[in-house]
Structures are given as structure tokens and as C-alpha cells.
């Protein structure tokens, strides 16, 4: 940039002056980028700049909070069952597969014991029936058997086969019932799906009635932590793997982090620290600058000399000794610079500001 001083004569010249006086502005004049020319009567000092190629970056500051990233919410999948046992307390450490709570399923378990015993009895009775059926079938095939004996054996075979069918049907029904009961029994037991500590147990859980899908126990793994942000706009342009820097609110510590999770439905973004710092306390707040847009090596002007009209953008250029408003086309509006795609050239002297 450079400074220039000029003494100008007070007057204002309007573009298309001669055209207005004689014929009016035609189509060519309507497309002109120059809008007005302003002359001032006082001596003014200005700073100037030109179009320059540079990287234009737009970032957004997003609030985030340090918290555990590994969390498991446990819920019973069935309703209207009494919670019979809770085997843990808040703060307890658990391992994967530990039983933490159970519904009252004793009646189902008792029914299954009885039905399994019945299965064994029926299997034994069917085996006995099979032996007798084979015996009578052999008798019927004995050469020279009398008609009366054959009819007697056929009658006994029919009864045996009916009994065997009854035992078989009863076993089929019991197996279906046992399977259904086992599903309910399994659904009535909550197991830890991860290593961690119990951070939440629903009040008065033991003895209460279950509601399907309601979180009753939460497990947290405090060894895996990071910053989380809830921002509806940011989830639309942030990408997995983006590298960011997080600045804590109170101390001002700076941490390098990576975007490892994006949940658009919940508007949640997770930033995991590249180097874990276990001295950070859960709940620490910070801010992260997320790149919203980036244009590399484009012609640009400082943001301070680009202005927005009703339906166009413009800047001021020096035309000889005259300050001239110039309509321009822009691309990305960055934090400090604006991408310029048309309206001025690299030779134009752009008025930056008064010194």
C-alpha cells in the first residue's frame, strides 16, 4: 500500500452525464461498473491497495465442552415388568459382560424348568411308544397270524401312534413357549457393553416397573475424552478428519484436535485431542475455529474496502484524481479478505481508507 495526497475541487460528476443531457443512458452505459464520481474540496490522504493473489479463508467460532466420549445408556426392551435386582451403585467400576440389573422373571424361569422336565418325560414316552410300535408292526407281518390277532395289533398300533403324536405335539408347543420365555428372560437382564464406571442409575429403580427404551443405567469410560460441540450450522460443512485448534475459555490453553464424529440429526460434533491431556476437567469449555470456506490463490481485496449495496457489491477506485465507486463481482467472503471475480483489474488503484 502507498499514500497519496491531492487537493481536489469541490463538485460531483455523475456517470453518463453527456448521455443524460443528450440521449439518455443506453444499454452499454447500463452495464458500466462505474456508478458515481466524487470530488472533495479538502486535502485528503488515502491508503491504496491493488488486487492480490492470496488464500481467502472463512472460519466460524464454535463453542465446545470437554466430556467423556464413550458412553453407554442401558434400557430394558420390555415394559410392565418389575425390576427385581440392581447389582451396581453409582461410581462402581464394571467390565464388559457384567450383569448390572434384572427384571422379575422367576415365574418364566420356573415355567421353563417344568416344561423342560416335561420334554424329557415326553421324549422317554415317545421312545417307549416307538419300541412298542415296532414290536406290533413286526407281529402283524408274522406269517400265519390270525385275523383276530392282526386286528388286535392294528388297534394297539393306532392308539400308540396317537399317543406318540400327542407327546410330539406337546413337545413342539413347549419348545416354542420355552424359546419365547428365554427371549423375555434375556431381555430382562442388562449387561455392561463396555468397560467403565456407573454414572447414572434411575431413582428407585429396584422394585419399579420397566418402560421399554427408557434409560435406567449409564456407563461412562473416563479414559476416552474430548470436546463436543452442538451446532446446527457447523455440522453442515465440517468434515470427518478436519484438523482444528481448540482454545479453552478460562486458561487459554490451545489443543490440536481432529473431527472424529458428526451426528447431523443431533447437531453434534466430536473433536478428539491429538495428544490426550488428562489434567483437563470434564465440563471445561472452549472455542474452536472451523473452516467454513476456503479459496486458494485467488484475486482478492481486504474486507475493509469492499461494501454491499442493495443488490450488488462495490469498492472505491482512484480514477486520475477522482474517487470512483466501482461495482464488482465477488466470490468467497473470508475473515479478512474477499475474493474478487470481476469488475476491476490488477492495474486499478483501490482506495483502502482515509489515514
In a domain, 250, yes or no: no
User: What is the rounded (10 degree) CA torsion for 14, 18, 23, 25?
Assistant: -40
- Would you state the cell numbers that stand for residue 344, as one nine-digit string? 476491476
Domain boundary among 136, 158, 187: 187
Instruction: Specify the pLDDT at position 17.
Output: 36
pLDDT in tens, 262-289: 999 989 999 998 887 877 888 899 999 8
User: pTM here?
Assistant: 0.45
pLDDT in tens, 299-328: 999 999 999 988 999 999 988 878 899 999
In a domain, 328, yes or no: yes
Instruction: Specify the pLDDT at position 9.
Output: 34
How large is the average pLDDT for residues 245-257? 92
Q: CA 205, 211, 214 angle in degrees (round to 5)?
A: 80
Q: Which of 63-72, 94-103, 148-157, 198-207 comes out lowest in average pLDDT?
A: 63-72
When comparing pLDDT for 279 and 198, which is higher?
Answer: 198
In a domain, 130, yes or no: yes
When comparing pLDDT for 4 and 334, which is higher?
Answer: 334
pLDDT in tens, 137-153: 999 999 988 999 999 99
Q: How confident is the model at residue 136 (pLDDT cuts 50, 70, 90)?
A: very high
How large is the average pLDDT for residues 157-178? 96
Can you tell me the distance from the alpha carbon of 87 to that of 176, in angstroms, rounded to the nearest whole number?
31
Domain boundary among 187, 208, 241: 187
How large is the average pLDDT for residues 160-177? 96
Question: How many other C-beta atoms are found inside a 10 Å radius of the C-beta of residue 146?
Answer: 9
In a domain, 118, yes or no: yes
Instruction: Specify the pLDDT at position 52.
Output: 93
In a domain, 30, yes or no: yes
Can you tell me the distance from the alpha carbon of 354 to that of 316, in angstroms, rounded to the nearest whole number?
12
Instruction: Specify the pLDDT at position 354.
Output: 57
pLDDT in tens, 76-86: 998 898 999 99
Instruction: Specify the pLDDT at position 18.
Output: 35
pLDDT in tens, 17-44: 333 333 344 444 445 555 554 544 334 5
Q: Structural domain of residue 123, as residue ranges?
A: 106-187
Long-range residue pairs from 342-347, CB within 8 A, at least 24 positions apart, any chain: 343/33, 344/33, 344/51, 344/315, 344/317, 345/51, 346/50, 346/51, 346/299, 347/50
In a domain, 145, yes or no: yes
Domain boundary among 122, 152, 187: 187
In a domain, 214, yes or no: no
In a domain, 144, yes or no: yes
Question: Structural domain tally of the chain?
Answer: 2
What is the chain's mean pLDDT, rounded? 85
Amino acid at each position: 500500500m502507498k499514500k497519496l495526497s491531492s487537493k481536489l475541487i469541490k463538485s460531483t460528476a455523475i456517470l453518463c452525464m453527456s448521455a443524460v443531457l443528450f440521449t439518455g443512458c443506453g444499454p452499454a452505459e447500463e452495464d458500466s461498473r462505474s456508478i458515481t464520481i466524487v470530488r472533495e474540496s479538502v486535502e485528503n490522504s488515502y491508503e491504496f491497495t491493488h488486487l492480490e493473489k492470496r488464500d481467502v479463508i472463512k472460519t466460524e467460532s464454535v463453542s465446545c465442552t470437554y466430556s467423556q466420549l464413550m458412553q453407554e445408556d442401558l434400557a430394558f426392551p420390555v415394559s410392565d415388568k418389575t425390576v427385581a435386582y440392581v447389582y451396581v451403585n453409582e461410581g462402581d467400576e464394571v467390565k464388559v459382560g457384567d450383569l448390572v440389573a434384572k427384571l422379575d422373571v422367576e415365574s418364566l424361569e420356573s415355567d421353563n424348568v417344568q416344561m423342560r422336565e416335561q420334554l424329557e418325560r415326553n421324549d422317554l414316552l415317545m421312545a417307549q411308544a416307538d419300541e412298542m410300535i415296532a414290536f406290533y408292526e413286526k407281529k402283524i407281518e408274522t406269517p400265519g397270524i390270525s385275523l383276530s390277532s392282526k386286528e388286535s395289533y392294528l388297534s394297539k398300533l393306532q392308539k400308540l401312534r396317537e399317543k406318540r403324536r400327542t407327546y410330539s405335539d406337546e413337545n413342539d408347543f413347549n419348545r416354542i413357549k420355552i424359546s419365547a420365555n428365554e427371549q423375555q428372560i434375556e431381555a430382562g437382564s442388562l449387561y455392561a457393553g463396555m468397560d467403565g464406571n456407573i454414572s447414572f442409575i434411575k431413582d428407585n429403580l429396584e422394585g419399579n416397573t420397566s418402560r421399554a427404551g427408557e434409560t435406567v443405567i449409564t456407563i461412562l469410560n473416563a479414559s476416552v475424552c474430548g470436546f463436543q460441540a452442538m451446532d446446527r450450522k457447523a455440522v453442515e460443512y465440517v468434515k470427518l478428519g478436519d484438523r482444528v485448534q481448540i482454545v479453552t475459555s478460562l486458561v487459554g490453553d490451545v489443543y490440536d484436535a481432529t473431527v472424529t464424529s458428526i451426528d447431523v440429526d443431533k447437531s453434534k460434533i466430536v473433536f478428539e485431542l491429538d495428544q490426550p491431556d488428562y489434567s483437563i476437567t470434564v465440563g471445561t469449555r472452549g472455542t474452536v475455529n472451523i473452516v467454513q470456506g476456503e479459496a486458494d490463490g485467488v484475486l482478492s481485496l481486504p474486507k475493509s474496502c469492499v461494501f454491499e449495496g442493495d443488490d450488488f457489491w462495490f469498492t472505491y477506485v482512484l480514477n486520475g484524481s477522482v474517487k470512483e465507486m466501482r461495482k464488482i463481482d465477488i466470490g468467497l467472503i473470508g475473515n479478512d479478505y474477499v475474493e474478487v471475480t470481476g469488475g476491476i483489474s490488477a492495474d486499478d488503484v483501490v482506495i483502502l481508507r482515509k489515514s
